[in-house]
């Protein structure tokens, strides 16, 4: 069964360019999704899940602003998990809102608002403070990929105080613009909780006659962790390329572990168990022919 445009968009993190969607589905499928109202337009050539329009409307009704992961999507950032209901922030003391939204009561300064949406800095701070680490890392990685400054993120972490400040600092420590997508970000978050494992995103490894760029690599133990999804690796040419790449890595002494989107997103404990078992079996070695992309 063909993967729907909406499903592809969800796996891309809720936002994507038209070119990305066409490449992973078809031009006809994207046109039909737009006509059916299954996609919301963020900007010229860039689309998001329809929840972003729902979030705008909910914020308007509540006389508040779109916030948290709902705001992240409106900023064009990818999220690991699309919100089930819009996140809306209103001033303290506001009467309880409808149960159709996630309502947050915070008195925002003027610079923390960007029209009907929390500013990019406030959005990133809210996500880092309140989301599970994997989800927060996915948002931060995407923010960096889309131009949010690494120094600005570090300054945000340094100034964080109160509840959730430690979470903000951890997210800032590990966030990377190199992460390709939220799927890979969540896999990296799981790996960061594995004793003895130290992974980096998008590492280039080369040997006699080959160069491979992998999603995650631990140079010391020569472990590669790949975030494999049919949406990206389902074509015959891509499958053949992946087979050659994985075989070359194994021949050159790397252990290649492949994880599906379903396992990473829904069975993280099993992914963590596999990674820990690999670490427990492999000694540390020196990796000369590899570097971060």
pLDDT tens per residue, range 9-19 = 999 999 999 99
Over 90: is that where the pLDDT of 256 sits? Answer: yes
The pLDDT mean for the chain works out to 91
- Residue whose C-alpha is closest to residue 55's, from 103, 87, 80: 87
Confidence of residue 93 (pLDDT cuts 50, 70, 90): confident
* CATH 3.40.960.10 placement within the chain: 182-292
Residue 207 to residue 230: CA distance in whole angstroms? 27
pLDDT at residue 1, rounded to an integer: 45
Residue 111 to residue 122: CA distance in whole angstroms? 9
Element spanning 259, H or E = strand 255-260
Least confident span in 57-61, 81-85, 86-90, 243-247: 243-247
Confidence of residue 132 (pLDDT cuts 50, 70, 90): very high
Top pLDDT among 112 and 209 is at: 112
pLDDT at residue 48, rounded to an integer: 93
Please give the model's pTM, rounded to 2 decimal places: 0.89
Residue 281 to residue 218: CA distance in whole angstroms? 14
Over 50: is that where the pLDDT of 37 sits? Answer: yes
Over 90: is that where the pLDDT of 100 sits? Answer: no
pLDDT at residue 39, rounded to an integer: 92
pLDDT at residue 2, rounded to an integer: 55
Query: DSSP states of 192-255 as a string?
Result: TTSTT---EEEEEEEETTEEEEEEEEETTTTEEEEEE-HHHH-SHHHHHHHHHHHHHHHHTT-E
Over 60: is that where the pLDDT of 219 sits? Answer: yes
| CATH domain 182-292 topology | Endonuclease; Chain A (3.40.960)
Confidence of residue 168 (pLDDT cuts 50, 70, 90): very high
């Amino acid at each position: 069964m063909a993967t729907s445009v909406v499903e592809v968009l969800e796996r891309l993190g809720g936002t994507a360019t038209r070119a990305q969607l066409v490449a992973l589905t078809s031009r006809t499928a994207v046109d039909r999704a737009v006509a059916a109202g299954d996609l919301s337009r963020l900007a010229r050539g860039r689309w998001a899940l329809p929840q972003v329009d729902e979030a705008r409307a909910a914020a308007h009704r509540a006389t508040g602003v779109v916030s948290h992961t709902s705001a992240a999507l409106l900023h064009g950032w990818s999220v690991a998990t699309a919100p089930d209901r819009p996140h809306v922030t209103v001033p303290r003391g506001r009467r309880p809102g409808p149960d159709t939204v996630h309502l947050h009561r915070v008195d925002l300064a003027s610079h923390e608002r960007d029209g009907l949406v929390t500013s990019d800095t406030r959005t990133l701070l809210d996500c880092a403070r309140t989301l599970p680490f994997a989800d927060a890392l996915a948002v931060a990685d995407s923010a960096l990929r889309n131009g949010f400054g690494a120094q600005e993120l570090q300054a945000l972490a340094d100034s964080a105080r109160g509840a959730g400040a430690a979470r903000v600092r951890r997210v800032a420590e590990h966030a990377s613009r190199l992460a390709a997508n939220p799927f890979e970000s969540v896999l990296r978050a799981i790996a960061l909780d594995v004793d003895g494992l130290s992974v980096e995103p998008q590492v280039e490894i080369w040997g006699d006659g080959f160069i491979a760029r992998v999603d995650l690599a631990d140079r010391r133990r020569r472990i590669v962790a790949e975030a494999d999804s049919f949406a990206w690796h389902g074509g015959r040419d891509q499958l053949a390329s992946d087979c050659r790449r994985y075989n070359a890595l194994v021949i050159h002494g790397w252990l290649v572990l492949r994880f599906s989107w379903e396992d990473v997103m829904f069975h993280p404990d099993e992914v963590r168990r596999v990674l820990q078992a690999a670490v427990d079996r492999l000694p540390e070695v020196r990796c000369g022919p590899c570097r971060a992309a």
